[in-house]
Structure 1
């Protein structure tokens, strides 16, 4: 995820904007023009140098079995089998409970779940095709979001993948023979790039699926399914591309899969390898991880009936290169001739494109492992022209270098009416009108915005390109798919190219995190997404999302009073935001501590946790790798900065961990000032008096935890801080534990979410937990898992029964997080592939009323005298703007130390004995004046030096 930080030249203006924003917040009837500022952003590129290792390690550490340090191969298929059996048992249990007259608390009704979108934001899409019988029918698919179908040119979409089917779709193709147009096929398995798996253990697929009704329903081709899910034993787990032979009387399918190219002449009933490694024939008992094999393959059929295929020199074994690497062609799909051999360089992926107007001219775009190569090939003469030198290389200041992120995003497509108009895609789209014969005719037409410094997207487009298709009736109309979904232009020859989003209910976004705004006045949730930053989604008003900040979105948080909202992106960059009435950004400040993550062996995580104190919206705890950090007044951090800050941050020395990184934390609610935190190495700690300098830390790691497990979530009962749930996200270890005595003892409660008593097999990765106390005295427990959402109302140690929620809506897609609001029971669930779902829990115990008095109350400053920092504690009856200023004994203003929000209840302001230039003031007596709604309170303090 490489990124360039933007200039901060307008700091003073930003600070003014922040104050103006607060005025608008507290004067909602104002009709003046609202202030809007540009959101901070970061590039979200999967394979950029800065973050690929960290991201890989983060995902791997979350999911790998700590005993083997490996993510189980074929785990998705194992999970699928497990969830089917779990549902069968659940139905049987329901029947038994009903027959026995068990009460409703032990046999609860399920919630009703509705999609929350975001309807206008799409997720990573590799597959798209236009129906030859009706160009208004488009089929597209997300790599973890399933197949979607539009009948009106992308103005609306319907999901056609069953909730229980595998959602990892990477390519899609239609049988165009007359009378066969209702037959479609799609391939599964993303070998490179899926964020729910590390590159060393990618998101495996489950073969090829077929539709005979125009893509409305799908069935797997049995011959491509996994027979032994315990092993990586089928190359069909990774399908790069599929093409068909429209000139054949048979149902002829040619597929580029892991290791080579295979062909079926009977609609996929039987297969034979025609090119590359013959992995399909090795047998079910062979683990393909142990068989050297070609990594990248591709197949393409030109309009003249000639088939082309490519095999990478790169294999699954480091430094073991394939002697078969190169570019091949065939007239029948059976007999192949290599006419370009790939030697010398570690060639990875090679993409193919030809024009309808002259299918004998073919372009090949390769990631060589040391740059990119573009070859123009004439099938009639055999001539090969190397056009690589005219790919964007950064020598033109206005055109960024072509970057495919190590083959993650790569294509070459040729305009159907002009063999010389060629489009290449990587992070960006570039167009050449002379087939890249020269550099002068190359234009940057998509991805990142060439006209704006920094990392914003091309207008109405998105970075990280995966394919282009052209409208049959007008080849200038082009559909582009990328990590942001689906986009359309009516003129791909224009300058600039103008796009419109087709993400109109194409819900394929991939969420990492979610937060239900805790203010009863707010009717929205916001969370962090892969490659789509942080998105705010309103409930019940169209389900559209509003982009808050860019990059790979991380944790989000809100106060119970609204007003200030916190979002983050990769590597723990956290921002405080204020929003206008239409949710546009009115101010921001970067608030993460400058000293955190100093030890590279215990880094800040790629998606790094932090939490606001439930009882103090200006107090934050931040996971800083090897230490927790605490900020007791975030409002004193000035707006407009995009750099880390020291303001009010304290490294909590007693929280140090000796290995791994802090990976989860949560504070208590009704019983204040208790915090629990866990680590990536399986340790869990309790912190008491978390608000004060007198805090204590106790390790509560249980001997029934699996050593080395990854603590991904800790849930605290909001009405009883001694009841907690600890969640380990690794596969094939015990996942969920509960304590009712503050961590003194624990019991395992994974129950039926483990396939075996030892937790081996296909049980899911559990990602998140929430505890929901009800007014009737009962408690509900929720778990987000890699196979959907589950709930239990009765905890019975390892006999706990977890029931799937939203089986026909949320389904079995990965759920990474959930959150609910105590004020009204609204609950929201974040999936990695199908966006958000929301529901309503009835009878939730509400938050207690804050006891705050009737006016401004300022307590004695402490410590007084002071040498480093002094704290002024005050209480407010209602949330509003507070100003605090320091004067010397002569009555001269020394510094304004606070001009921001104070929240209803207890607050703190700090002064470190410096003036407006941050220089130490002379020792002496100073007056601190606190102002709130016309009330003024004064404190006399004494500053000394050591």
Structure 2
């Protein structure tokens, strides 16, 4: 993907001009390739060291019903059922329908054609991978929010086997290995720890166990595991930790580790009995399991010789109440169990189990004990247990300490032919060649990279381990799966283990945000993802190859691009924002951290985990940032020097009049026609409007409507780019009306949620609305889009609570969670960013293009003010086109004391600032100074007086 010659010229010229200006070197005559730079990345961790606010807190605020403070239980199943009913309503429309409904139905059936762009080479969170015992090339894999996938070439390529309407939360997978029954597979659902859609105390639950009888080609739910009362937590099958089958039992015998204990079926899942732990199978349909103390974590493992090993945690759902039967158990028949490791009376959470086919009598148990980790080896023949806990990596010997992130990522596995080689997985992957008998001979072989102290990701691997599989024909070949998808190594015993990603076509990436680059020649999208950082994805079908590039790591946040390319703004969690330049291979060539010193500093009103900011569409050198309790503005981002990874005060102003006393600023947007109007919303349902937002004489007005839901979380605000008086405000919480519209600049608002709600009050099973946008067309019509937790919806007519929203791309996007939709005004290219299914793109025809930004007829120094100045002088320059601009400060003796610009000036008005300091940042003396401005070989000088008296 080549960029326009203009962008290449500008980007190359910036570096050339800066180097010449500061006399670093003389350029050689031959062409020189731009050098890449390295940015210290942030870690993406659940409740991790780098997070000031966990993902769960962010999702709790964004999704919880304000009336109850909780996310409705099992809302995923309920909202999908509601979405299906709405889709059927449109299918049944043609007879006896109203004209407006018929119009919407026609638009729905002739909706945009969506292309799945992936990216095709980055996987998402993967807890379950299985290998066909008859054919090691046949793999099945499940993404936690990406559904089931199938490969017949050992992961080289993948085909999706889940339909768009099936539950996508895959947490466990197993095959019936009994001869003649191998086409039978099962997968379990419901991630109790770590799901990014989960909120404390009210998670998105699973919906039981699914079964395939055609070797994973199609799947159907087991009715016996489905809840009959989706509004309640009343079934242990709503969380499935693990599944296995019994090759020595009936033809189709299953054991599952579910919430509360171990359950067993001898008839292929038609009926079940509890064989270990709490018997919750007959729990009342109108009951609530939250009110009953039960085992929280369970696991089930089958050894190579058919012995079952199970674990029950001492932790229950009731803080302070321990499970009396906590421990590790063995069974030869899956019915009768013997306690082999007793954890009663301990603070033990999750216990993971493993064994080796070469020594199946040796069992390993890895336990999260809250303040540390325990590891035990138990011999089923001699009944001897050995405590290996002191040898779990603890941060010594240059090996990062084992970290399960509160039981989220844990695994233990043993080499098939060498029982002394044991693998432990937490955030990182570790290998011991002496079975963790000592701390010696332990290597850090995956997750984060030990070569730079765990700052960046291990080459071609990823943090947060969930399991490994060994290739039967060569046990040294190993498949590893984690939050970055699926990877394989040809030598798991190598001193330096090398991996190859197996994510081609395995599109399970979880995007928080996504935009189309605003530079017309950039045919790519950029988005922030969970765990995978910020990804740049070519606008090509994911099946065409590796079309994605990770630009920065961490948990990716909001992104923004300029209409001229050159500068791309990407962020980590908690609003760590960077201005980047990239070469044609999308490698990083320069960076500058641009978020303000002091932003989000109030602990009671911090930055959001995924924190919004926006570039002014009228001046892409200007940014507005949600700073917790204040809105912040930067009027010249290009003045921030490159190379720093610290926050900056350069050109940032905290807009004091925007302060909110409670809640957090959660949405911000800037107008284009007319310019300089900013709308912002909060996590407590308030909306404000700023006029003259680009000046120091801005005015703030609260426009919160009486009809707005109390304490709702405003996730996005859309402004009609042709008329700033038309605004959409979307609330992302469940249980309240979702979308409000104003056509008079916020004087009045009308609920236009319409068919997105089950009830006019917003109560019921309507989806969470994550993003809204307005697309004006040249014929005077407009398209309105809503990105929701059950897909993307659109309409051409807003009619209050009678508005009909029709689903976009039902066979492409389907009911995937769509977190954002963004379109490019210059050509109508549009992207939908999903959480679990990657990116989808399309093109809207006949869109109203942006008005050209008009610059001056020639280079103009418009104003220098105030003059005299005491702390900050503003230099206003009007440019005919975007190009290099050099601004230098001289004292009265002609000595250069400061260069305040050596980069790009943007077409139109530009504000540059000097704070009366020299190159070292020290204040200069009061007196007369000369400001020399050079643009395209033209220079002008203006005198300014510094007087602090």
TM range (shorter): over 0.9
Which residue of structure 2 aligns with residue 352 of structure 1? 353
In structure 2, C-alpha distance between the alignment counterparts of 1:841 and 1:894, rounded to whole Å: 52
Shift of the alpha carbon at 1:56? 2.5
Query: Which residue number in structure 1 is paired with residue 117 of structure 2?
Result: 116
1:654 matched to 2:684? The reply is no
Alpha-carbon spacing, 1:410–1:30, altered in 2? closer, same or farther (3 Å): farther
Q: Pick from 788, 791, 794: which aligns with 2:791? A: 788
Query: What's 2:240 paired with?
Result: 239
Which residue of structure 1 aligns with residue 672 of structure 2?
A: 669
CA distance in 2, matches of 1:801, 1:92: 14
Partner of 1:687: 690
2:9 equivalent in structure 1: none
Residues 441, 653 of structure 1: alpha-carbon distance in 2 compared, 3 angstrom cutoff? same
Residues 207 and 238, structure 2, Cα contact 8 Å, conserved in 1:
yes
Cα 1:21–1:620 shift into 2, 3 Å: farther
Residue 208 in 1 paired to residue 209 in 2?
yes
After superposition, residues 509-588 of structure 1 pair within 5 angstroms as 509-540=509-540, 542=545, 544-588=547-591
Q: Is the 8 A contact 2:40 2:455 kept in 1?
A: no
CA distance in 2, matches of 1:855, 1:96: 63
| CA 1:332–1:704: 2 relative to 1, 3 Å | same
Task: Tell me the residue number matched to 1:493.
Answer: 493
- CA shift at 1:233, angstroms? 1.1
Take 2:96 and 2:521, find their aligned partners in 1: how far apart are those partners?
A: 43
What is residue 464 of structure 2 aligned with on the other side? 464
Contact (CA 8 Å) 2:53, 2:574: kept in 1 or not? no
Q: Is the 8 A contact 1:714 1:769 kept in 2?
A: yes
Q: Which runs of 5+ in 2 are unaligned?
A: 1-13
Seen in structure 2, the aligned counterparts of structure 1 residues 335 and 102 have a Cα distance that, compared at 3 Å, is closer
After superposition, where does 1:236-275 map in structure 2 within 5 Å?
A: 236-275=237-276
Of the three residues 865, 870, 875, the one matched with 2:873 is: 870
Per-residue deviation, residues 759-789 of structure 1 (Å, max 9, x unmatched): 1111110000010001111000000001110
Check 1:480–1:287 CA distance in 2 against 1; reply closer, same or farther (3 A cut).
same
- Secondary structure of 1:586's aligned partner: strand
Shift in alpha-carbon separation, 1:859–1:229, aligned structure 2, 3 A: same
Aligned match of 1:166: 167
Give the match for residue 753 of structure 1: 756
Cα deviation, 1:450-487, whole Å, max 9, x if unaligned, reads 11135111111111100000111111110000111100
User: Is contact 2:573–2:609 with CA below 8 Å preserved after alignment?
Assistant: yes
2:817 is aligned, of 797, 806, 814, to 814
Aligned counterparts of 1:834 and 1:119: Cα–Cα separation in 2:
10
Deviation at 1:646, TM superposition (A): 0.5
Contact 1:769 1:783 in 2 (8 A): yes
How far the C-alpha of 1:104 sits from its partner, in A, is 7.9
- Are the structure 2 counterparts of residues 641 and 421 from structure 1 closer, same or farther at C-alpha, using a change threshold of 3 Å? same
**Residue 236 of structure 1: SS of its match in structure 2?**
helix
Superposed CA offset, 1:97-128 (max 9, x none): 59999568974521111111111111110000
The CA deviation at 1:334 is: 0.9
Give the match for residue 639 of structure 1: 642
RMSD: 2.0
Worse overlay, 873-882 or 207-216: 873-882
Distance 1:489 1:309 in 2: 29
CA contact (8 A) 1:577 1:586 kept: yes
Quote the residue 1:34 is aligned against: 34
Q: Where does residue 418 of structure 2 map in the other structure?
A: 418
| Cα contact 2:512–2:529 (8 A) shared by 1 | yes
Tell me, what secondary structure is at the counterpart of 1:571? coil
* Among 568, 591, 606, the residue aligned to 2:609: 606
Aligned-residue offset at 1:824: 0.6
Scaled by the length of structure 2, what TM-score is found?
A: 0.95
Question: What is the match of residue 5 of structure 2?
Answer: none
1:10 corresponds in structure 2 to none
- 1:268-347 to structure 2, matched below 5 A, reads 268-347=269-348
Whether the 8 Å contact between 2:314 and 2:345 is mirrored in structure 1 is no
Distance 2:423 2:926 in 1: 68
- 8 Å contact kept, 1:860–1:939: no
Give the superposition deviation at 1:920. Answer: 1.8
Distance 1:610 1:89, change over 3 A: same
CA distance in 1: counterparts of 2:811 and 2:244, whole angstroms: 32
Matches of 2:880 and 2:15, distance apart in 1: 26
CA distance in 1: counterparts of 2:723 and 2:424, whole angstroms: 58
Q: Would you say 1:707 and 2:704 are equivalent positions? A: no
Correspondence for 1:7: none
Match of 2:622 in 1: 619
User: CA 1:685–1:330 in 2, change beyond 3 Å: closer, same or farther?
Assistant: same
Query: In 2, are the aligned partners of 1:261 and 1:299 still within 8 Å (CA)?
Result: yes
Rounded Cα–Cα distance in structure 2 between residues aligned with 1:755 and 1:620: 38
Bigger drift between 879-888 and 88-97 goes to 88-97
Superposed displacement of residue 900, structure 1: 1.4
The alpha carbon displacement at 1:200 in A equals 3.1
Partner residue of 2:82? 82
Q: Deviations over 1:838-878 (max 9, x none)?
A: 01101110011222134211102121221111111112222
Query: Aligned in 2, Cα 1:101/1:576: closer, same or farther, shift over 3 Å?
Result: closer
SS of the residue corresponding to residue 79 of structure 2 reads: helix
Q: 1:104 to 1:725 in 2, by over 3 A?
A: closer
Matched residues in 2 for 1:924 and 1:316: separation? 70
Q: Which residue of 1 aligns with 2:379?
A: 378
Check if 1:92 corresponds to 2:92: yes
SS of residue in 2 equivalent to 1:451: helix
1:340 to partner: Cα distance: 1.5
**What's the offset of the Cα at 1:358?**
1.4
SS of residue in 1 equivalent to 2:504: coil
Q: How do residues 364-375 of structure 1 correspond to structure 2 at under 5 angstroms?
A: 364-375=365-376
Q: Distance in 2 between matches of 1:616 and 1:696?
A: 20
**Which shifted more, 373-382 or 860-869?**
860-869
* Offset of residue 19 of structure 1: 6.2
Give, in whole Å, the separation in 1 of the partners of 2:427 and 2:203.
21
1:18·1:639 contact (CA, 8 Å) conserved in 2?
Answer: no
Distance 1:74 1:123 in 2: 23
What is the distance in 2 between the residues matched to 1:126 and 1:19? 49
How far residue 50 of structure 1 moved from its aligned partner, in angstroms, is 5.2
Among 586, 594, 598, which residue is 2:597 paired with?
A: 594
1:913 corresponds in structure 2 to: 916
Note closer, same or farther for the CA distance 1:88–1:655 as it changes in structure 2 (3 Å cut).
same
Instruction: Tell me, yes or no, if structure 1 residue 824 matches structure 2 residue 823.
Output: no
Counterpart of 2:451 in 1: which secondary structure?
coil
Indicate conservation of the 8 Å contact 1:20/1:35, yes or no.
no
CA contact (8 A) 1:632 1:908 kept: yes
Which residue matches 1:126?
A: 127
Q: Determine helix, strand or coil for the equivalent of 1:359.
A: strand
Moved more, 806-815 or 449-458: 449-458
TM-score, normalising length: structure 1 = 0.96
What is the match of residue 5 of structure 1? none
What does residue range 713-724 of structure 1 map to in structure 2 within 5 Å? 713-724=716-727
Distance (Å, rounded) in 2 between the aligned partners of 1:22 and 1:277: 73
Give the alignment partner of residue 850 of structure 2, picking from 847, 852, 859: 847
Tell me what 1:181 maps to.
Answer: 182
